[in-house]
Amino acid sequence: MLGPRSLSASVELCSFRTPTLPPATHTNSYALGSREVILVEPATPYDSERRAFLEWARALHSSGRRLKAIFVTHHHKDHVGGAAFLARELALPLWMHAETEARLPLTADRLLVDGEHLDLEGPMPTRWQVLHTPGHAPGHLCLYSAQTRETVVGDMLAGKGTILIPPASSDGDMTAYLEQLKRLEQLDAFVAYAAHGEPIEKPEKLCRAYTAHRHSREARILDVLTIAPGRTATELVPTVYGDVPFASRPFARMSLLSHLEKLEREGRVLADGGGEDARYT
């Protein structure tokens, strides 16, 4: 466990070790609210870290705050490893999107939808708007407070490393992800709280940088296919992702497939065949 520490009048951060992707080693959990509190990211599957999470949550309760619910951003294992255990031990309901519930062996107590508001009472009452932001995962949710201009972004952005957008076979969607990045950029938030890494000041700049980076990858794909058409995804990786360490090439290939799916939908590339052996022109 790393923390806890206060980030603002109504946001506290505590990080827990999880089986996440490098360079990250921990997933950030957040306590939102100055009296009523929502706990975000019941992430850790490890016993010692779960006990630390319980101590943190119970300390919040002992300080006069009332724990209201556990909020799940999405279904990936480094975000829900403690969901069932922590909900049971703390006697708290689990809140998530329906697409997340459909991918987990547990039942949500409340299914959240895009646009609804979560109101938290306290010395500083706060209202958080639920944002459904698919792309990295079908049920991915963010939270935004127009009052404080803070946003909780889960795996849409990262304070450390980058975001993997898997292909459709693993529930990813590059088109949707880029659309939701634009949506987050337009919030004009003061700060974003990501699941990995430090808080991100002026996150609209990072949204634009992520978008530009994705577009540069697509341009590289198109350049390579113009010169040497008929390549498979595996054959494209060393050229398109030549800047990525060899150990990370399997993840690069997943991102590449997601880009190729987007480009194919847009009619900018054609696939000859299907599956692993498809050749693109």
What pLDDT, on a 0 to 100 scale, did the predictor assign at position 3?
79
What pLDDT, on a 0 to 100 scale, did the predictor assign at position 142?
98
3-state secondary structure of 231: strand
What pLDDT, on a 0 to 100 scale, did the predictor assign at position 92?
98
pLDDT for residue 276 is more than 80: no
Q: What whole-number distance in Å separates Cα of residue 24 and Cα of residue 126? A: 30
pLDDT for residue 14 is more than 90: yes
Q: Are 251 and 21 in contact (CB under 8 A)?
A: yes
Q: Retrieve residue 188's tokens.
A: 């004009």
**How do residues 108-120 score in pLDDT, each as one tens digit?**
999 999 999 999 9
**How do residues 142-179 score in pLDDT, each as one tens digit?**
999 999 999 999 999 998 778 999 999 999 999 999 99
Q: Name all domains of the chain by residue range, CATH numbers in brackets.
A: 2-201 (3.60.15.10), 212-280 (1.10.10.10)
pLDDT for residue 48 is more than 80: yes
What pLDDT, on a 0 to 100 scale, did the predictor assign at position 273?
81
pLDDT for residue 246 is more than 90: no
Confidence of residue 281 (pLDDT cuts 50, 70, 90): very high
**How do residues 192-232 score in pLDDT, each as one tens digit?**
999 999 999 999 999 999 999 999 999 999 999 999 999 99
Q: What whole-number distance in Å separates Cα of residue 211 and Cα of residue 223? A: 18
pLDDT above 90 covers a percentage of the chain that reads 89
What pLDDT, on a 0 to 100 scale, did the predictor assign at position 113?
98
Q: Are 243 and 267 in contact (CB under 8 A)?
A: no
Q: What whole-number distance in Å separates Cα of residue 15 and Cα of residue 271? A: 43
Contacts of 167 (CB under 8 A, 6+ apart): 254, 257, 258, 261
Q: Are 253 and 238 in contact (CB under 8 A)?
A: no
